[in-house]
Chains A and B, each alone.
Chain A
């Protein structure tokens, strides 16, 4: 029975950060759910482990806020998949969220490592 040891010591995603990661990933173009998860994992240098089960509530949430829209299409290997892409509001939201995140990171860094300054 194979184990999942290799996945245990990855960084756990912070609460509330999944939304912005999804939006950022979709800025590069439309993707299906697994593609989004994979892109985040790859972009994070395999540091982030996406709980695939929680991806969909997030996508649903974003869709409901009309930041992303989705439709069924065909993947590169000819399988049916539901593709997500950003709406205009979504693109604006990426900026808003990125901006907010950068402020959060700056604030966190200031608190955690005061000697580096800002």
Chain B
């Protein structure tokens, strides 16, 4: 490692030699002539005559590079001299920087980074800002298809405009059928995105003209590679989507993974084929919005400018829309006014749907905050340890200060040392980051059925950020110790042989560490208890021995009319299985976090419209019985209810107890009428025939008013089956597949799993936050323990003489221990006190994350405090015992 020694001898080197000379001379003067250290140093220096202020690192004529080389060399020497401390510091930094880099990389991809398309800055998304009247299918900023066409045909502020709508479909590709994510796109989509084909061609305007007339598909590069073996002759081959053979016309570039990183489509299909994916096949309905609309700003047009020039036109569009025949005639005047006041917002679209996604924002922000805390803790630890090292070098520093080294020099030298550690820590942390990132992503990957576009690998942006994090860590952890380490009053240090300043600062650091550890621990406890509460409360019905799977005959090529008999045949087939007690099915799967919802018109004490969307579902008779949910009033559905209302109309409904509590308080629920809608002047047509106990339909949370309908004759969505069985999933799964295949081999069995597993998937964020929170908290607490151990060790060291005297005078060993432990106790209690306001803030953050459930109760807070106290006291045990074992004779001899 001699690169910095090469070349002519530097002035720095000469100066260091002269300093050594002065030290030798000072030592001699002390030794032989009995001078005081300070006087000896002064005299030794004076013997150099008129030589300039002598410190090897004190600028003078030496170049900056020389200085840096010297500082680095000296730093390395000092780091190597104390490997345990150095390794502990490195480990703290590696974890702190590694985790932060990994989380940043994920947050960056999920929330910040633009789509991999040319000039993402000119890509915008359109958003309905105001009152919407009609249906919404999907999430995010949805617009109806006719609006897209109107903007495309009548507006010139955009050079390109297109829409997309994601959906799930049954695909048959080499390797067998599977459920996968696809995206419907209008003809201008790829042109708007600026994406080029990897192979063949992409969907263009000519592929999207005639409704249902363009059976073509474009594959994603990943799907082409995994399912078609990257076959260069794939163009012209067939991909069967929901039973319909589509001709593959091309493959997209590898970098393009759609506009939504959380759901990556395996194929893109022309919007004209909408009926293949969505139950609403038509595109000409202005009252159904389901598309995300993207556009490219025309050259020279700004986003706000485009938005401003759209509004007069949009007002005209709204007025025209109201004149259409299908405009609901029974709206309140206020609603109409609100509708007319709506604006068409032009929002940045360069980051795709991610920017609009609430789904992950919360967890990612929470994780970022936790990792930042962790880094702060690691920095405090590093500061503490380097301060400890600084104290052991105190006398050396004092001599150098006495010899004329400026404080700035000493400070820089320390910072260089810390920076070297931080750079090493950052490098190792960045190496470790992908591993940590993968761990976190395995959790996130469980949430969606589609592949996610997030990767654990790092890119330039992340590396730049990691560098920034390392820099921040250096300043955070280095500045304090360097400042205190260089604030030396040489006379005092050399004369009194004490351990100088910095011990107060170290105590302060320990207080900070305890506080942060407690915050992390309490946070982890909060997540943990939330998870526990959610799990133990459960969905309101017994989930053990409950297995679920989905079958969608329509997607497998059946006519809508034939779907229901097919599902019933499946139900009969599965009921006959050995060990299966009961089977039923619902239109929507339970406990997926989403589902069907609508506002309801209710004939309560008065007639009103619910202000919220209520979760709803259609179920078979005895479905509640199967789940184990009691019908508390009235009756369950029976086979007569299924058909009595006709194919697309219900006339009997069952509501949940919470519905009665919320909306029908004080009136008899049975026989009351309700209906869909938002028109209070209409007459509700459906009769409540029963009330069921509360249970979780979509999410595990406080009971919501819920509405249930009987299964109708036409089943467009297919069915999600539930069966209660004593057998393990591994045993029933092949049997279920066999029974479904007996009905028709073409049917695809999807989402076959236990309901417990379904709940795991539903609770993925809570589980992730709990696991990571626990890991962070353990690490943070360990760091705090190291900090306390370190600071007490130094304290014990500095009080040995005092202790020796005390013990010689008859003080008991236990009182010696009590002294040290009492010292630790003060720091810990102070740390706890400091963290309480932070915990108050934390509570708000966590409670916003985990809707409705967690409370920062005194019990869990108390448990965290006790845990921190116990662990920190344990860390003080070693120094305390050493203190108690002080041998008076030895204590004097050492000094």
Using a CB–CB cutoff of 8 Å, the interface residues on chain A facing chain B are: 2, 4, 32-35, 37-38, 51-56, 75, 77, 79-82
Contacts and interface: CB of A to CB of B under 8 A. Distances in A.
A65 B20 CA distance: 24
Interface string B10-35: 00011011101111110110000000
A116 to B, nearest CB: 37
The 7 closest A-B pairs by CB, nearest first: A34-B24, A53-B49, A53-B48, A34-B21, A53-B51, A82-B17, A52-B47
Contact of A79 (B13, B20, B39): B20
B306 to A, nearest CB: 70
A2 to B, nearest CB: 6
Nearest to B18: A56
Contacts of A80: 16, 20
B48 A35 contact: no
Contacts of B50: 53
25 contacts: A2-B39, A4-B43, A4-B46, A32-B20, A32-B24, A33-B18, A34-B24, A37-B21, A38-B28, A52-B21, A52-B22, A52-B25, A52-B47, A52-B49, A53-B49, A53-B51, A56-B18, A75-B24, A79-B24, A81-B17, A81-B20, A81-B24, A82-B13, A82-B17, A82-B20
A94 B50 CA distance: 30
Given A4-B46, A51-B49, A56 B28 contact: no
Contacts of B18: 33, 56
A28 B824 CA distance: 57
A75 B28 CA distance: 13
Interface in B33-79: 39, 43, 46-51
A33 B17 CA distance: 8
Contacts of A77: 27
Contacts of B16: 80
Contacts of B21: 32-34, 37, 52, 55, 81
Nearest to B52: A53
Contacts of B23: 79
B165 to A, nearest CB: 73
A1 to B, nearest CB: 10
A55 to B, nearest CB: 8
Interface string B521-534: 00000000000000
Contacts of B24: 32, 34-35, 75, 79, 81
Contacts of B47: 51-53
Nearest to B47: A52
Contacts of A33: 17-18, 20-21
B760 to A, nearest CB: 62
B32 to A, nearest CB: 10
A38 B24 CA distance: 10
Given A53-B48, A54-B49, A81-B20, 14 more contacts: A2-B43, A4-B46, A32-B20, A33-B17, A33-B18, A33-B21, A34-B21, A37-B21, A52-B22, A52-B49, A53-B47, A53-B49, A53-B51, A81-B21
A54 B24 CA distance: 17
Q: In terms of DSSP, what is the predominant structure of the interface of chain B?
A: helix
B77 to A, nearest CB: 9
Interface in B237-280: none
Contacts of B14: 56
A81 to B, nearest CB: 5
Chain B interface size, under 10 / 10 to 19 / 20 to 34 / 35 or more = 20 to 34
Given A2-B39, A2-B43, A56 B17 contact: yes
Most chain A Cβ neighbours within 10 Å, of B13, B21, B22, B39 = B21
Contacts of A75: 24
Contacts of B27: 77
Nearest to A82: B17
Contacts of A51: 47, 49
A86 to B, nearest CB: 18
A75 B17 CA distance: 12
Contacts of A56: 14, 17-18
A37 B29 CA distance: 14
Interface in B204-236: none
Contacts of B46: 4
Contacts of B39: 2
Given A79-B23, A80-B20, A81-B20, A52 B43 contact: no
A51 to B, nearest CB: 6
A116 B23 CA distance: 46
B106 to A, nearest CB: 48
B402 to A, nearest CB: 16
A91 B557 CA distance: 104
B299 to A, nearest CB: 67
A49 to B, nearest CB: 9
Contacts of A38: 25, 28
Contacts of A4: 43, 46
A54 B48 CA distance: 8
A85 to B, nearest CB: 15
A37 B21 CA distance: 10
Contacts of A53: 47-51
A32 B24 CA distance: 10
Contacts of A79: 20, 23-24
B150 to A, nearest CB: 82
B502 to A, nearest CB: 24
B52 to A, nearest CB: 10
Q: Which of B16, B24, B27, B43 has the most CB of A within 10 A?
A: B24
Nearest to B31: A77
B513 to A, nearest CB: 35
Contacts of B20: 32-34, 79-82
A81 B19 CA distance: 9
Nearest to B51: A53
Nearest to B35: A2
Select the residue from A32, A33, A52, A75 with max chain B CB neighbours within 10 A. Answer: A52
Nearest to B46: A4
A38 B29 CA distance: 11
A79 B399 CA distance: 14
B413 to A, nearest CB: 16
B730 to A, nearest CB: 69
A2 B24 CA distance: 20
Nearest to B20: A81
A80 B24 CA distance: 10
A50 B603 CA distance: 111
Contacts of B25: 34, 37-38, 52
Interface string B819-859: 00000000000000000000000000000000000000000
Contacts of B51: 53
B432 to A, nearest CB: 36
Contacts of A34: 20-22, 24-25, 28
Nearest to A51: B49
A55 B17 CA distance: 12
B48 A52 contact: yes
Interface centre among B16, B20, B27, B50 (most CB of A within 10 A): B20
Nearest to B26: A34
- Interface hub of B18, B39, B43, B50 (most chain A Cβ within 10 A): B18
Contacts of B22: 34, 52
B633 to A, nearest CB: 91
B215 to A, nearest CB: 81
A80 to B, nearest CB: 6
A54 B14 CA distance: 13
Nearest to A4: B46
A4 B39 CA distance: 12
A35 B24 CA distance: 8
A89 to B, nearest CB: 19
A2 B48 CA distance: 17
Contacts of A55: 21
A52 B21 CA distance: 9
